[in-house]
């Protein structure tokens, strides 16, 4: 574990991040298409956008017929999401690992958590909370940083050692702090919370991404940036 005390505070970068992220090829042409491909039909279902950021997924879900509650721990991101959805969804500030007293048991058919888990310290608590919020046989879809994304820390301190790392994101001009974890640190607490994995994806980048970002395309062809999971809550 490094000496860095905590993960990145998105309140400090919310405006800059939201102004750039919708056009960034790795998100617009790699992460989002894969996440959307894993979703079940969303028309007329209740969805929690867990870690909603500036509200892109919440907006997409509502445009496709879902009833949406969106939550984020960053007050600045909540304000941006509220502006984006313009009253069409409930957007709240909160910790996705503990929404007791805010959201009731078995409230949702789908929990979507896009690029959130690598900022959270206690994944067993997070997955347990997602299980509490989902109805029986509900679906969880999430994306997170791939365990091999950071090549340096795979060797030192080693792949099996989870750690909080700091990385320069050139496109954002910002040092970001997040957890790099082995795959077992995702799959074990997911299973312990009663989820069964239906699909796990390591996507090949698209031709459209190659045209927009040739260097990024080459890197993603050799080393995946994100891993994607669809899991089903076991019936009680």
pLDDT(4) > 50: no
Average pLDDT over residues 206-220: 96
Domain ranges for the chain, please list them: 10-233
Mean pLDDT across the chain: 92
Instruction: For residues 36 and 116, give the distance between their C-alpha atoms in angstroms, rounded to a whole number.
Output: 16
Domain at 10-233, CATH homologous superfamily? Vaccinia Virus protein VP39 (3.40.50.150)
Where does the pLDDT of residue 139 fall: very low under 50, low under 70, confident under 90, or very high at 90 and above?
Answer: very high
Report the Cα–Cα distance between both ends of the chain, in Å, rounded: 37
Find all residues with CB under 8 Å of 149, minimum gap 6, and list them.
180, 223, 224, 225, 226
Residue 44 CA to residue 84 CA, distance in Å, equals 21
- Between residues 30 and 161, which one has the greater pLDDT? 30
Lowest mean pLDDT among 5-14, 112-121, 223-232: 5-14
Query: Across residues 2-25, what is the average pLDDT?
Result: 81
Q: pTM here? A: 0.94
pLDDT above 70 (res 1): no
Residue 190 clears pLDDT 90, i.e. is over it = yes
Tell me the per-residue pLDDT of 60-95, one tens digit each, with 9 for 90 and over: 999 999 999 999 999 999 999 999 999 999 999 999
């Amino acid at each position: 574990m490094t000496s860095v005390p905590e993960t990145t505070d998105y309140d400090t970068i919310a405006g800059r991040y939201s102004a750039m992220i919708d056009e960034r090829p790795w998100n617009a042409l790699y992460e989002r298409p894969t996440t959307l491909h894993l979703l079940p039909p969303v028309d007329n279902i209740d969805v929690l956008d867990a870690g909603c950021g500036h509200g892109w997924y919440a907006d997409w879900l509502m445009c496709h017929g879902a009833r949406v509650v969106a939550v984020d721990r960053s007050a600045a991101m909540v304000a941006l999401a509220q502006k984006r959805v313009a009253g069409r969804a409930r957007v709240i500030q909160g910790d996705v690992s503990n929404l007791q007293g805010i959201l009731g048991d078995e409230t949702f058919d789908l929990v979507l958590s896009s690029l959130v888990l690598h900022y959270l310290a206690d994944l067993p608590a997070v997955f347990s909370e997602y299980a509490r919020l989902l109805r029986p046989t509900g679906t969880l879809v999430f994306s997170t940083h791939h365990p091999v994304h950071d090549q340096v820390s795979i060797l030192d301190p080693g792949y099996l050692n989870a750690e909080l790392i700091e990385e320069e994101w050139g496109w954002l001009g910002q040092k970001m702090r997040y957890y790099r974890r082995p795959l077992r640190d995702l799959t074990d607490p997911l299973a312990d919370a009663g989820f069964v994995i239906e699909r796990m994806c390591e996507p090949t980048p698209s031709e459209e991404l190659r045209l927009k970002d040739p260097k990024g395309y080459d890197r993603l062809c050799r080393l995946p940036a994100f891993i994607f999971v669809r899991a089903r809550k076991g019936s009680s």
